[in-house]
Structure 1
Amino acid sequence: MSLLRFFCQRCYQPLRLTQSGKALGLDTSQEPAASKLPSAHQERGDAPEEGSTPAAVEADVEELQNGASGRAHPGDGGVSGPCSSIFTLLGRLSSGRTLHSIQLSVQGTFDIISGEGDRDQPLCQDCTDNLLEHLDTQLMTSESDVQAYKRRLEGVDEDRREALQEELKDAELEEARLARELEETEKNRERAAAALEAAEAETELLEQQERQYQRDYSRLLWQQLDLSDELQSVENQLRYAQAQLAWLEKTNAWRATFEIRDDGPLASINNFRLGCLPAVPVGWGEISAAWGQAALLLLALSRKAGLQFRRFRLVPCGTRSRLQHLSKDSVELPLFFHQGRGGPSYGEFDRAMLAFLDCMQQFKEEAERGEEPGVCMPCRMHARRGLIAEPGASGEGYSIRSESNTEERWSEALRLVLTNLKCSLDWVCSRYCQK
């Protein structure tokens, strides 16, 4: 029989186990003695008594006792409250027990310590009575609290209760209203989310359109700049053309084409001298070119005035100009001269100059026939005799013939011819070339 004992977990008095405790193989017949505890007063190196279990088994029991007794003995002066998981093993194992019975005892003890078994906590009779009295006191206190709470509830004013009921109903109605508002708000939030998504899509589309419009605007602006430059260039060209037009309008084409100078010793037309002097020799080529320019000027003036010559027709050809006789089978009279074989004679050249003077006489008569003032030809002409006189001169004047004439008088006669042509040019310009 072993000397295993249990203490009460409240007052630490030895306990007498019931039949369930004996089934675990625990012996309670021997009184507890502190001197017989193998784990409290013996060292590990002491030899076991005869008839005891082997060393290995007793070492396991000693470890079990040391692990189960995690608190002080009641004789050590320590006081502790009830604990459901701390026990102290007393006594020692009998030498006749087997390892299986030891394992069963240890397993049952651990079940009690850990609270996993269906066994109650070990308490003595007095501690149990005290515990029941304490529980009865707590129960009575709780019942008195309940009764007081009921009396307090019954003492509440009926009006106050109705007011509270009304407030509760209002609160419930407010809760329902807020729930409906919350539901409506959720719906509005969903609609707003859909509208926001549509607005974002529209915004993206508008941004794309804006970028496209910006590109189109930049392209059109570039075209505008090009057109502005082109317009500025055209305006500059227009101003230049207008300036040229104004200059040309002020310019007389007749005077610009035919330039006659008769203020020197020899008259000239377009820088070709007409006549020659001993001191100023002039070649026949230059004289022939001057006669060609004079024939061209007289023909242009007659056409501008609408005059048709009756006896001769002018054929200006530069240095080879001539006049054709209209009544004598188109006889040509050369208005040029050059020395050498095959050239015209002085007689033919003189007849051509006489015919030119006759054409000038016809132009003067045609110009004086109108109502407007006639052409002012200051030099008097006698076409049949071939004479031309200065204005206001009393004599016959100068002969236009080159044969049997001096160079000075012939050159003077030619100068007077160009003077009359210059006056005729001024008359045509003043009459037909005005705006």
Structure 2
Amino acid sequence: MSNNQVFECQKCDTPLNLDQSLLNLNESQLKLLVSQKKHKLFRKANSQILKDLDPQDYIPQDRLEMYQGITNQEPINHRNYFESEDDEDDEYEDEEQNNQQQKLHDSGFTSDSNSYLVLNESDEFKENIKNSHDGDDTEDRSTDERNDFRMSTRIKTLNKIFAILSNNQEIDHPLSEDCAKLLIENYQLKFDQSQKEKETYLSFLRKLKDKDSQLNLYNEDDENNEIVNPDLLHQDLDQKLYQSIQEFQKLSVQEKENLKELKKLEQTKTELETQLSNYEQELNNLRENGLNSILKLKNKLQLELNEKNKKLEQSKAAYDVQLDHIDKLRNLNIYTRIFHISCDSQDKFATINGFRLGHKIIWPEINAALGQIVLLLVFLIKRLKLDLKNYKLVPMGSQSQIIKFSAKDAVDGTTKSKTILNLYSSDEFSLGKLFNFNKLDVAMIALLDIVSLIEAKVLSIDQEIELPYKIKNDTIGGKSIRVTSNSEWTSSCKFLLTNLNWILTFVSAHTNSEETL
């Protein structure tokens, strides 16, 4: 590293190249810059100023007593930066002078002689000196050491110069060129601001002087500033005094009013603070005591409300279900629901409640179907309030019967005889089966006769109705109702159930709901 790059900018830490004017300073110039006498005079002047000042004028009494107590216990040793540096330099210079005197003494010269001789250096003399230096290696080494010593001393002196500059200013030195430019710009701004303030003060001073000259109270040419117009002065002073007194009275009245208002405000503030403290205490009591109970009650009521809401929702759901059920019941035809008359999948046999009726059907199913027909006829007779004089239906499931009443002449008078007609049969083969078929045929004819009576009742209610198949004697729709007719019996049974379905639909549409079973 070169000698001029030992220093760095104290603001941006940039390595600095010192100017040649600083590097080429001789020893006398360096000593003049860091002269100890100047600092001693400066310290003497400062000490004289400090002696003239009384510490009690600018230091509080308690701090002054603390300082005196501490100094009595442990005396304070003051050490100045410049003194310490100068002492070290003096010691170093004294040591250097002693070394030089010792060398002179060894060479045969004494320091007692203060005289000196000036010699002109001729070319021959210079050549001899040069040759003597070239021939003496010991003196070259001593010269190099001396040069190193001078360089270190120069660097140390420059450090001292920068320290002095840093102590005298608010900026640490040395500075780079850019930082120095910024510092100059800052000082320029401060200078401009000071100039503006100076101009402001000067303008204010001019205004004061102009006002003073307008009053003509003092003679400007007179050095003693004697009053030229005392009457004008007294008049002006009296007027100002009167205005001041009036202003003082106004301010006194305003002060009293303000004091009264302040007292009222303070009283109001005290009352508000008291109310606030009471409210805060009440709030704390509520938080400590009442808040827990309120929260518990709130939670309890919330749970009850949730339960009630659940029950309400359940009731609403059940209500909706019941409404739907009622709507279904209203739209439901109970007659067709109880007695469902239709045809099988092949549309060959008529069915009532799922039981087929016709030829080549097993007898238990036929007997059950006939029992359902008897039950339907009983239901229709009651709904139509029909009075059967010659017949009585006995519904007993698959063994239902029809009781037929007939008039019989006797000696004493007319009597009725009854005949029981079994509306069922079995599939057992016997000799009497043929007779049983004849009895079943008679029962089927009686059943057809009862249907014709019901048809007559319906026509009496509504003459416009007409059944699909006409009944005549033992035929319906031109088909015989007898069992022995085989295939015709199947068709006649189908026609019979169709007419019954029509009658059932009519009864369900024209009877009143009060006329129930």
Bucket of the pairwise TM-score, normalised by the shorter protein = 0.3 to 0.5
Q: Which structure is higher in helix share?
A: 2
Q: TM-score, normalised by structure 2?
A: 0.41
Q: TM-score, normalised by structure 1?
A: 0.48
Comparing both chains, which one has the higher relative contact order based on Cα–Cα distances under 8 Å and sequence gaps of 6 or more?
A: 1
Higher Rg: 1
